[in-house]
A = this chain, B = another copy of it.
Amino acid sequence: MGPVFGPTTPLTTAAPTERSDAARNRQLLLDAAQQLVRADGVDALTMDALAKHAGVGKGTVFRRFGNRAGLLHALLDHSDRKFQAAFMFGPPPLGPGAPPVERLVAFGRARLSGIDIEGAMRRSAESGEGGARYTGAPYNTLKAHIMMLLRETPVHGDIPLLADILLAPLDSGLVMAQLATGSYTIEQIGDAWERVVRELAPATGQ
- Against B, the Cβ 8 Å flags (1 = close, 0 = not) of A112-141 are 000000000001100100110111000000
CA distance A183 to B188 in the complex (A): 35
Determine if A173 is an interface residue (Cβ-Cβ < 8 Å).
Answer: yes
| Chain B residues whose C-beta falls within 8 Å of the C-beta of A124 in the assembled complex | 130
Say whether A199 faces chain B, with CB atoms less than 8 Å apart: yes
Number of interface residues of A (CB under 8 A): 35
A189 to B191, CA, bound (A): 25
Which A residues fall within an 8 A CB radius of B? 123-124, 127, 130-131, 133-135, 157-158, 160-162, 164-165, 168-169, 171, 173-174, 176-178, 180, 183-184, 188-189, 191-193, 195-196, 199-200
Sorted from nearest, which 7 A-B pairs have the closest CB atoms?
A134-B177, A168-B168, A161-B192, A168-B169, A165-B169, A127-B130, A131-B173
Extra contacts besides A124-B130, A157-B195, A158-B191 (15): CB < 8 Å? A127-B127, A127-B131, A131-B176, A134-B174, A135-B180, A157-B191, A157-B192, A160-B183, A161-B188, A162-B192, A164-B169, A164-B178, A168-B168, A196-B196, A199-B199
Q: Identify 9 residue pairs between A and B in the complex whose beta-carbon atoms are under 8 Å apart, listed by A's number.
A: A124-B130, A130-B173, A133-B177, A134-B173, A160-B183, A161-B192, A164-B178, A165-B168, A165-B196
